[in-house]
Structure 1
Amino acid sequence: MRFNTTDFQNLSEKSLGLMLTGFVALFVSFYIFLSLADDVWEDETFKLDAMVKKFIASFNTPWLTDMMGYITETGSVLWLTVATILVVVYLVLLSDKSYWVATFLVINMLGISGLTKGLKLLFERQRPETLEQFDGTGFSFPSGHSTGAITFYGFMIYLVVICKLSKGWKWVINGFLTIWILLIALSRVFVGVHYITDIIAGLAIGLAWLLVCIVALALLRRR
């Protein structure tokens, strides 16, 4: 895949529609996160957490837990750090005029890392279980694997959208990436180190930050 200036210029009116959709999604994401954050701050319990935990326990097996353990690793700090470095190297060295794209990918990942750590320290929500095997240490809210997964793989979805691939391949690749984001997020509940509300909050704040970075990048490129 190659990216150049014309890739951005050809978006024209479509890009404006996408940015408008992005602003709406940004508002909804912040609203969902703030609604959950308010209840967590008041130490309220969620019926949804208990319901989802009971539902998963009804069919979860050691084999399924192990499989989810492998999936959850693709949302770990180490995995995403290495993947980000590889993509940045590709964008800078092999792709045409993609320095700003690479820069915003780095901003995207460093920003969500700092934001997630800050929010965890702010809310200090305890995990349902502490399991070092699955990076289940520290505070619980929001889920760091969920924020990391949606910001990194979400940025990959954006790169696929603006690259020179056929429409069919874009749907296939982005469909897979979307499913993978959700699997990483849900894996945290299957391995028992997060509540579902941690996951929803992580996806919401991660999506909000991703959209901020993408909109800022799009506006910069249009200028």
Structure 2
Amino acid sequence: MIFRGTRLSDISKTSIALIVIGFIVVGLSFNFFFELGETVLEDEKFAIDAATTEFINSISTPWIVNAMGLITEAGSVMFLTIASIILAIYLFFFSSFSRWVTVFFAINMGGISALTKILKLSYARKRPSVLEKYDGTGFSFPSGHTTGSIVFYGFIIYLVTVSHLGKRLKWSLNIFIALFALCIGISRLFLGVHFITDVMAGISFGLSWLLICIMALEITLWNQRRRQVKH
């Protein structure tokens, strides 16, 4: 839909790409998530869970587990809360980004926290094992470390994408950040506190929520530019 008084030429190519790709990915991700969720509610077992657990147990060593224990902390509630506050302060007071970026970043992080808690209670899936040391308590589906990491690090990828950095640096940073976020999800498997389907659900739902927030932000910024041009 084109807003009255605007043309497609008024929108940056990056914004158009983010919105179009966002709609496609959100639809696919939501469909995938709810298909997994339906099977979880029916208390059926996933063959991929058993196969992945067996494979991880066959290659796991004490040093890998220790390394995964460190990586997983980058997706913990405490770390993401502190990091989010620091990033929000930077965006609001020290960056050249619109104040709306800070608003939607807060919605992005606060929303995923609330939604993940609701989903965990709704599906009430038991963990493969309970380890309080690695925040492996409560229900399992979807993985909270994964949803939180996807929306937090994913928003940083968005900020890098719309920044004025060079293309090569953007690609390098974004690939590194994306792989790191995925490693946090994988760490939950090596620590034995989640099934792979928990992590897959966390990626799909987290990505959906992230893109909804980014699309809403892009449309808000678009409208803000329209008003500025009119005045």
Place the TM-score, normalised by the shorter chain, in its bin.
over 0.9
Q: Does 1:180 align with 2:169?
A: no
How many Å apart are 1:11 and its aligned residue? 5.9
Counterpart of 1:4 in structure 2 is: none
CA distance in 2, matches of 1:13, 1:167: 14
Give the 3-state SS of the residue equivalent to 2:164 in structure 1. Answer: coil
Counterpart of 1:86 in structure 2 is: 86
Q: Which runs of 5 or more structure 2 residues have no equivalent in the other structure?
A: 1-8, 224-231
How many Å apart are 1:63 and its aligned residue? 0.6
Counterpart of 2:191 in structure 1 is: 191
CA distance in 2, matches of 1:178, 1:156: 10
CA distance in 1, matches of 2:13, 2:174: 22
Give the 3-state SS of the residue equivalent to 1:158 in structure 2. Answer: helix
On the 8 A contact 2:18/2:215 being kept in 1, the answer is no
How many Å apart are 1:97 and its aligned residue? 4.6
CA distance in 2, matches of 1:145, 1:31: 21
How many Å apart are 1:19 and its aligned residue? 1.1
How many Å apart are 1:10 and its aligned residue? 8.4
CA distance in 1, matches of 2:23, 2:172: 25
Higher-Rg member (1/2)? 2
The size of the alignment, in residue pairs, is 215
Task: Calculate the aligned-residue CA RMSD, in Å.
Answer: 1.2
1:59-111 C-alpha deviation (Å, 9 max, x unpaired) = 10011001000000000000000110011111111112531101111100000
How many Å apart are 1:13 and its aligned residue? 3.2
How many Å apart are 1:14 and its aligned residue? 3.6
Identity of aligned residues (%): 50
CA distance in 2, matches of 1:27, 1:169: 30
Counterpart of 2:68 in structure 1 is: 68
Counterpart of 1:130 in structure 2 is: 130
Give, as a single letter, the amino acid of the residue that structure 1 aligns with 2:38. Answer: D
- The 5-angstrom pairing of residues 14-163 of structure 1 reads 14-163=14-163
